[in-house]
Amino acid sequence: MEDVAIIGVGLHPFGRFGDKSALDMGAEAVRSACGDAGIEWKDVQFAFGGSAELDTPDVVVNRLGLTGIPFMGVYNGCATAATALNLTADIIRSGQHDIGVAVGMDKHLPGALTADPVDYGAPSWYGDLGYFLTTKFFGMKINRYMHDYGISHETLGRVAAKGFRNGALNPNAFRRKPMSVEDIVGSRMLNYPLTQYMFCAPDEGAAAVVLCRADLAHKYTSTPIYLRATALRSRRYGAHEVHATWAAIDQDDSPTVYASKAAYEMAGIGPEDVDVIQLQDTDAGAEVIHMAENGFCADGEQEQLIADGATEIDGPLPVNTDGGLIANGEPVGASGLRQVHELVRQLRGQAGDRQVPGDPKVGYAQLYGAPGTAGVSILST
Amino acid sequence: METVPHPPDVFTWPSDEPQLIGARCPSCSAITFPMATSCPKCGTPDLAEHLLPRRGTLWTWTTQDFLPKEPYASGETNETFRPYGVGLVQLGDEVRVEARLTEADPAKLDFGMAVQLVVVPFREDGDTTTVTFAFEPVQED
């Protein structure tokens, strides 16, 4: 199996961009990634495009050049971007092609995402009666977790405050205004215990990554970043998941736990080796839970770790250094590639004001979302 | 006046002691809610109807404090919206089900509290009242 290197990353800022289409944002992200890799679009041998809103992300090639390459569209819930990355890497690992692009792009309407519950395996009445909300699931999950492991409301506020503070250092972020823990905890309750400023917002944006066979990477760059592992998992019987009318009493772990273990195994490293972390923070509670689900601490240790500043950019466990979903929002198809973009910048030492000190060598990214799907990627210098 | 149950086939109605209608897998015995076309644990089709215990305990909960977007169909507006509780209710040793709670005040909800199934009004349209299932807190016997 061939090893895979990341030789270029590109990002269209996340936020709101008027009439600008997701395809235009996607094309800009690809051009930027190709520029970063020092290649042209015509050098790209294949691509995967991820999007929640676009039926045919393939149309982005109309803006980049009609070179005839295979272009595959993917959608896999909130793990869409991790899926595009995983599949792009797999094609290179298999030896089928040497150089490919993973791109994600989306343009969501403001407010919580919605759809037909039947498409998510729920009955149609699940929507009529007011159950079909991801935010409500996250409220239930963190409420129980806080009860079981002694996590405070203030900790949720601190997670969101860190997100906004890091977002203020990131010119590509959507929300760049720092907020106090008190204002976050005291803002409008949406789904107890989660308040307005503890949630990310669906928004707009695009991100792209150029991958190539690791043994060719030095042809293009002096600073290749190696993609050491990619893993995707769906939910098992016993996991309490988004958009479920029921849950088994005999509990099993979330798909994140399984994806994380598989990725560590594939990379041959453990959580103690990771220097920069990107976690799915759909809400502040999700970041807290995901710290433990991805092996960075035991359940309950987050309370003290976060109070001590461990997850800050200069802490021992820097989490969501670019502001995460809380500051960047979530264009679903692009979100996981935004994480990879940030990790690559950090591992190259190009993260500017938000650079993690101490020459970080290993980065970790996790996605999780409806209907209970997770993706983990591990990168290293 | 006409009273219409919604959904029409997931709780016993009319009934003084309503119960949710779940499903039991004839192959692996997994109990799920509501009735489904196949077992989510083992994939076996042709599940058997199974009445769930009326009483249970609140495993976790949240509140819905903003008006959901469509397909929410309560007929409410931002001005008339009344927040509601949502819980994951453990029914004996059988299954946990997601359901509305009659209580939406966090101060009055607690982990492990006893709850029972009731049928409550959901929306009014002229002479028609749509009713649905919810769990209400009860004093333990």
In a domain, A257, yes or no: yes
Beta strands in B12-127 (DSSP E): 21-24, 31-32, 48-51, 55-64, 84-91, 95-101, 114-125
Rg of chain B over Cα atoms, rounded to whole angstroms, equals: 16
CATH number of domain containing A240: 3.40.47.10
In a domain, A146, yes or no: no
CA neighbor of A137 nearest in space, from B92, B60, B35: B60
Q: Residue B8, SS3?
A: coil
Nearest CA in chain A to B89: A246
Contacts of B9 in chain A (CB under 8 A): none
Which of B34, B41, B88 lies closest to A237 in CB terms?
B41
Query: Which domain range does residue A14 map to?
Result: 4-110+199-380
Give the mean model confidence (pLDDT) for residues B131-138: 98
Sign of CA pseudo-dihedral B135, A285, A288, A200: positive
CA neighbor of A123 nearest in space, from B58, B27, B6: B6
Which of B71, B86, B106 lies closest to A140 in CB terms?
B86
A367 CA: distance to closest CA in chain B (Å)? 23
Average pLDDT over chain B reads: 96
- Strand-by-strand arrangement of the A362-369 sheet: A71-74, A46-50, A99-107, A204-213, A4-15, A225-234, A373-380, A362-369, A276-278
Distance CA A31, CA A12 (A): 10
B61 to A143: CB separation less than 8 angstroms, yes or no: yes
**A245: number of CA atoms within 13 Å, CB side?**
25
CA neighbor of A151 nearest in space, from A371, A304, A363, A313: A304
What is the structure's pLDDT at A112? 65
What are the residue ranges in chain A where pLDDT is below 70? 112-114
Percent of the residues in chain B that have a pLDDT greater than 70, as a whole number: 99
Q: Specify whether the CB–CB gap between A257 and A264 falls below 8 A.
A: no
Read off the pLDDT of residues B36-75 as tens digits, 9 standing for 90 and up.
999 999 999 999 999 999 999 999 999 999 999 989 999 9
CA distances from A367 to A66, A277, A287 (A): 32, 12, 11
A245 to B97: CB separation less than 8 angstroms, yes or no: yes
Is the peptide bond between A193 and the residue preceding it cis, with omega within 30 degrees of 0?
yes
In a domain, A329, yes or no: yes
Read off the pLDDT of residues A225-265 as tens digits, 9 standing for 90 and up.
999 999 999 999 999 999 999 999 999 999 999 999 999 99
| Alpha-carbon A79 to chain mean position | 7
> What burial letters (b/e) apply to A213-226, b meaning 16+ CB within 10 Å?
bbeebeebbeebbb
Side chain identity at B20, as an amino acid letter?
L
Q: Specify whether the CB–CB gap between A149 and A299 falls below 8 A.
A: yes
Read off the pLDDT of residues A298-341 as tens digits, 9 standing for 90 and up.
999 999 999 999 999 999 999 999 999 999 999 999 999 999 99
Identify residues of A whose CB sits under 8 angstroms from chain B CBs: 111-112, 114, 116-117, 123-125, 127-133, 136, 139-141, 143-144, 147, 188-194, 237, 240, 244-249
A117 to B71: CB separation less than 8 angstroms, yes or no: yes
**pLDDT exceeds cutoff 70 at B141:** no
What is the structure's pLDDT at B135? 98
Distance CA B33, CA A244 (A): 9
The tally of domains found in chain A comes to: 1
Q: Specify whether the CB–CB gap between A152 and A285 falls below 8 A.
A: no
Number of H helices, E strands in chain B: 0, 9
What is the structure's pLDDT at A370? 84
In a domain, A226, yes or no: yes
If pLDDT is split at 50, 70 and 90, which confidence band does B1 have? confident
Residue A229's DSSP bridge partners are: A378
Contacts of A116 in chain B (CB under 8 A): 71
